[in-house]
Amino acid sequence: MSASIITFQIPHIPKAWWVFCCVMIMPIQMTQADLWHLTPDSEVGFHIDSFGVTLVKGQFEQVQSTMQFDLQQPERANAQVVLDINSISINKPSLKAMVLGPDLFYAEKYKTAIFKSTQFKMLGNHYYQIQGNLTLRGVTRPITFDAKLTPDSNQPDLLNVEAYTVIRRSDFGMKQTLGGIGEKVKIQVIGQWKNSE
């Protein structure tokens, strides 16, 4: 009795289908953005003017920051910055108690301020509008930073950053105070993001 041989015919699969499958199984990490942190020397601060003169200038000495950013796909970036309110240093120490007090930052009750981005909008030539939400004194409001992010020509793991925005004190529940302190608070981030990958 002779053994029978069973054969199977493999259907023809178009080349385009094989290419599609190869693309789909590529490691996700290839498109994942790098993780960045602000360097310790970076400045995250603010100043409040009155009649065109800077009356109060402060800087946050303790900052927690993360940014996911890919130079090839910057529009997919996101960032978060957490500020320790009690770490504020003031150019006029005599005003620190007032700045940290209930009428302004109310540091005893609200320990941190948090910014979370919602969109990085490219404007060209390394300029961006970074839109997001700022939570300050328990109040969350949308704000926009005008920013410039430039790769450092000497160290590829650094991004030079300059970012500015203006908020209104009353939008976050800060009260009118004595001394002629203005309504608008100008916030700036100046320094460098470092790639931690």
pLDDT of 108-121, one tens digit each? 999 999 999 999 99
Residue 9: what pLDDT? 53
Query: What tens digit of pLDDT does each residue of 65-90 get?
Result: 999 999 889 999 999 999 999 999 99
What confidence score (pLDDT) does residue 155 get? 94
Q: Please state the pTM of the whole predicted model.
A: 0.80
Rounded-to-integer distance, Cα 161 and Cα 152, Å = 10
At residue 167, does pLDDT exceed 70? yes
Q: Residue 180 — left, alpha, or beta (φ > 0 → left; ψ -120 to 50 → alpha)?
A: left
**Which pLDDT value is given to residue 49?**
77
